Amino acid sequence: MCVCVCVRVCVCVTTQYEEQLEDCRKYREFLDSITPLEFFEAQAAKLQQRKDNMLAEWQVRTAEREEACSALQSRKQTAIAEESSAP
């Protein structure tokens, strides 16, 4: 098949997808225009709550890891001290 034909097919398909995308954008604008503002506010609040929860969970896990690392470091230092003080 000729390269020109392949290019034409790609351009045609791309144009078709661009038209579908534009239709989707228009439909979204329509849906956004008829959706109450309270819905968007509620969705934003839910998203923020999820973010806050994820951050809190991450902070707890980080603190637990730091405690575990500190305990391990302490045990290591104790073992080194005992080993160096042994005759």
Same structural domain, 48 and 8: no
Round to whole Å and give the CA distance between 87 and 78: 16
Same structural domain, 28 and 42: no
How many domains is the chain partitioned into structurally? 2
Q: 6 or 30: which carries more pLDDT confidence?
A: 30
Region for 35 from its dihedrals, namely left if φ exceeds 0, alpha if ψ lies in -120 to 50, beta otherwise: beta
pLDDT digits (tens, 9 = 90+) for 31-70: 999 999 999 999 999 999 999 999 999 999 999 999 999 9
Same structural domain, 53 and 73: yes
pTM of the model: 0.58
